[in-house]
Amino acid sequence: MNGIGEDIGVFQIAVIVLVIFTVIVISRAVRTVPQGEEWTVERFGRYVRTLGPGLRFLWPVIDRVGHKMNMMETVLDIQGQEVITRDNAMVHADAVAFYQVIDASQAAYEVRDLENALQNLSMTNIRSVIGAMDLDDVLSNRDVINSKLLAIIDEAAHPWGVKVTRVEIKDLSPPADIVAAMGRQMKAERDKRADVLQAEGLKQAAILKAEGVRESQVREAEGRREAAFLDAEARERLAQAEAKATEMVSRAIAEGDIQAVNYFVATKYTEALRDIAASPSSRVVILPIEAGGIAGAVAGIAELTRTIGQPGRDGGASGGAPASGGSGAGGPWGAA
């Protein structure tokens, strides 16, 4: 009985050991790879294949998982450093990079400590790119710096199975004395622009004022020209009227109507008296004629007007009566 019990105890222990061994083998042979990761498989220490996400199987004992690579895009915070620009200005530069592993085997076996390698690669290229630029270009052309860094770092990291998607400069901080100098320079530039704008405003105001004066002079000259045209036209019409009156008087004289002569002379006579009386330099007017002469002239004009207004009379009758009245009223007419 003791022998049988000992055999059963050994058998149970063997079964338990076998079960434990089987569980260990299955646990090492069946693996679940999470989403966003890829695992490398090594057989006797040599890379043989890559396991993608999901339930995967390995050969127990001879195969093992080498590296578990994260295939998602990763943010790399690049350490800040002091960089000297081409014009010997010191700048503190901070940056950040975004990269993604696209080949797990290359990222696992082509470089040791991938993140540290990308960190040092980025820092050295930041010094190279910024060191080749002047301070003003560094502060004003961040996009250019980012583009250059992205192209250089992505090309250098390509053999490692890594794709660098973005490189961004977070901060560029020049020293305090350079910041103060830049502030004074900016103030001087703004003052200069203000002076230039003020000068431009004064210039435009002077130009507009000159144009206004010129326009006023042109308008005034045009007004004088129009006035001269109107005066000339008035004088022309007056001359035409006088010529027509003279023609009518000449025609009347040719027809033997002496009253027309008396009318013409009387008109000129009264106009001459009006001009003498209206002269501002005249204080005393001496008339070398009798006062009755003026009345005779006026009477002659009235008689001529009545004669013209009576078309029934003939030329001899209309010319005789006023002539005798005119000679009796004023001596100057008879003399004329």
Quote the CA–CA distance of 330 and 255 in Å, as a whole number.
24
In terms of Cβ atoms closer than 10 Å to its own Cβ (0-12, 13-18, 19+), residue 177 is exposed
Residues 6+ away with beta carbon under 8 Å from 325: 299, 300, 303
321 vs 310, residue with greater confidence: 310
Ranges of each domain in the chain: 2-69, 74-174, 179-254, 255-336
For residue 166, the model assigns a pLDDT of 93
Q: pLDDT at residue 306 above 70?
A: no
pLDDT of res. 300:
57
Gyration radius of the chain over CA positions = 63
> pLDDT tens digit string along 126-143?
999 999 999 888 888 899
Determine the pLDDT at residue 321: 37
pLDDT band at 78 (very low <50, low <70, confident <90, very high): very high
- Region class of 120: left (phi > 0), else alpha (psi between -120 and 50), else beta: alpha
- pLDDT at position 76 is 93
Average pLDDT over residues 17-25: 80
CA atoms within a 13 Å half-sphere pointing along the CA-CB vector of 198: 6
CA–CA separation, 155 vs 29, rounded Å?
A: 38
Q: Can you give the pLDDT at residue 24? A: 79
Q: Which residue matches tokens 């890379």?
A: 47
Contact call for residues 130 and 83 (beta carbons, < 8 A) = yes
Q: Is residue 61 scored above 90 in pLDDT?
A: no
Q: Looking at the predicted structure, is the pLDDT value of residue 144 above 80?
A: yes
- pLDDT at position 302 is 56
Supply the DSSP symbol for 42.
E
pLDDT (0 to 100) of residue 322: 40
> What pLDDT score does 244 carry?
81
The pLDDT of residue 320 is above 50: no
Q: What is the pLDDT of residue 334?
A: 38
The residue type at 96: V
Average pLDDT for residues 104-113, to the nearest whole number? 91
Q: What pLDDT does residue 331 have?
A: 40
Mean pLDDT taken over the chain = 78
Choice between 32 and 275, residue whose per-residue pLDDT is larger? 32
pLDDT class of 226 with cuts at 50, 70, 90: confident
pLDDT of res. 295: 53
Query: Is the CB of residue 96 less than 8 Å from the CB of residue 78?
Result: yes
| pLDDT confidence of residue 96 | 94
Alpha-carbon gap, residue 336 to 300, rounded angstroms: 13
173 vs 28, higher pLDDT: 173
User: What are the C-alpha distances in Å from 81 to residues 90, 193, 233, 335?
Assistant: 10, 37, 94, 129
74-174 fold: Tetrahydropterin Synthase; Chain A (3.30.479)
pLDDT at 93: 92
246: left (phi over 0), alpha (psi -120 to 50) or beta: alpha
Tens digit of each residue's pLDDT (9 = 90 or more) over 166-195: 999 988 888 887 778 777 888 888 888 898
pLDDT bracket for residue 291 (50, 70, 90): very low
DSSP 92: E
pLDDT of residue 284: 59
Q: Can you point out the beta strands (E) in the chain?
A: 30-33, 37-43, 46-51, 54-57, 63-70, 74-84, 90-101, 162-173
Rounded to the nearest angstrom, the gap between the alpha carbon of residue 253 and the centroid of all alpha carbons in its chain is 83
How large is the angle between the packed helices 258-278 and 291-308, nearest 10 degrees? 130
